[in-house]
Amino acid sequence: MATLHKITPCLWFNDQAEAAAAFYCDIFPNSRITAVSHYGEVGQEIHGRPPGSVMTVAFELDGQPFTALNGGPTFTFNEAISFQINCESQQEVDFYWEKLSQGGPVEAQICGWLKDKFGVSWQVVPTVLIEMLLDKDKAKSGRTMAALLQMKKLDIAELKRAYSG
């Protein structure tokens, strides 16, 4: 049996768990689907899912375990929960932004945040931004924050310009 992590995020989908897991695994390195379970006849009066349809998909994104559940339309995603991707370069920011935003709502893109086509929120964040925002020089961190608030996808060069004054 595989080692279980103490905490594994579970993402509730209507009926797109397998498609979402495959989509994410195609984007992130060192990722894979590790298990798929199916609904049976037992409990059908409660879950209402056809026997044999996908119930859960266990997957890893760069080693981080996730579970995707086809639970029906009762619950949907919102911005209260998001996944942060720490990026070392503009090339990495551009890559994740492009891949994850495909098919997602453009109006949900703000300050490095986006929603993917499944409604999951992501923050695509250059690691240098965190350093700039934590600078004890309030003028530098303030200029950085002001620049950040004007952006959709984050631009490292522009953030550095703002930081430097």
Every domain of the chain and the residues it spans: 10-70, 82-164
Which fold is adopted by the domain 82-164?
A: 2,3-Dihydroxybiphenyl 1,2-Dioxygenase; domain 1 (3.10.180)
For residues 14, 97, 115, 64, the Cα torsion angle rounded to the nearest 10 degrees is 50
> Spelled out in words, what is the top-level CATH class assigned to the domain 10-70?
alpha beta
Residue 55 and residue 38 in contact, taking contact as beta carbons nearer than 8 Å: yes
Tell me whether domains 10-70 and 82-164 share a fold. Answer: yes
Q: Is residue 6 predicted with pLDDT exceeding 90? A: no
Beta-bridged to residue 21, according to DSSP, are none
Q: Is residue 33 predicted with pLDDT exceeding 80? A: yes
| Single pTM value for the model | 0.92
pLDDT tens for 75-104 read: 999 999 999 999 999 999 999 999 999 999
Distance separating alpha carbons of residues 64 and 87, to the nearest angstrom: 16
